[in-house]
Chains A and B, each alone.
Chain A
Amino acid sequence: MDNLKDLVLRLHSQECRFVVVGGFCAVSWGSSLMTRDVDVACDMSPSNLIRVWSALEHLHPVHRMTPTRLPFTRELAEKGGVHNLYLSTDIGQLDLLGEVKGLGSFAICLEHSEPIEIGGVAIRVLTLDALIIAKRAMGRPRDLHAVLELEVIRERRSGVPREGRK
């Protein structure tokens, strides 16, 4: 059974360095688009990947983009040298991204993130402005839907007059 929130909380429990980006971040801001996976910008250093592995080790993580669905092992985490990891686990898909299009590295994402309370702990997600920039940079039709929703949310939160209305 998928449990995307639990995936995020597991990463937090092992003190992984990550920022929630993508569709799950959009959901946290109020988008109505359902998402089936969690995307996080992540410090891809071996030390952090070992924390990620520790968080996921009991969930049978595998590299879902490899034909044989290779297990994500501690040895692979220790080796490092990866830009992105596309994992499948017992409770859902988790994409770990070393870089986010439109924004850049994990450090930049971290700079443009803010905490939200999930399960009694603070989880960092992209700011609304940063998420819109990232979604615009992706440029797919489904990203447009998200962008349009997120820009409405930004407009409503800011209370800026609806200048387009006659």
Chain B
Amino acid sequence: MPLRDPSRDAITFPVTPTSIEEIIAPFWRTDDGRSAEERAEAYGIDLSLITENLRLRPEQRMDQNQAALELVRELQKARG
């Protein structure tokens, strides 16, 4: 059975750069009564990643970024 792509039958609406700006605009504000965590969660940020990173030293965080970069490069190479 073929996979169903929900984006093909969903109701579509035009997403222009302007409307994206409008959608995210409230998240720039800090006077919304929310904590930084609440705002980040509402935006969809996975806070567990930050929790993990804060256990590391700055240099380890940089090494982690390096490892991610190398993985991306390997994946791109594999795709040709």
On A, residues with C-beta under 8 Å from B are 1-5, 24, 27-32, 34-36, 116-119, 125, 136, 139, 141, 144-145, 147-149, 151-156, 162-165
Contact = CB atoms under 8 A, between A and B. Distances in A.
Contacts of B73: 1-2
Contacts of B43: 144-145, 148
Nearest to B43: A148
Contacts, number: 106
Interface string B13-44: 00000001100100110101111111110010
Contacts of B63: 5
Contacts of B56: 30
A121 B37 CA distance: 33
A152 B66 contact: no
Contacts of A156: 50, 54
B2 interface: no
Interface residue tally of chain B, by bracket?
A: 35 or more
B36 A155 contact: yes
Contacts of B32: 164
Q: Nearest 9 pairs between A and B by C-beta?
A: A164-B35, A32-B49, A164-B34, A151-B36, A162-B35, A30-B53, A28-B58, A148-B40, A155-B36
Contacts of B61: 27-30
A13 B16 CA distance: 47
B66 to A, nearest CB: 6
Contacts of A118: 58-59, 62
Contacts of B38: 162, 164-165
Nearest to B62: A5
A141 B49 CA distance: 19
Nearest to A3: B66
Contact of A2 (B37, B64, B69): B69
A32 B43 CA distance: 15
7 contacts: A5-B62, A27-B65, A28-B58, A30-B56, A32-B46, A147-B28, A151-B40
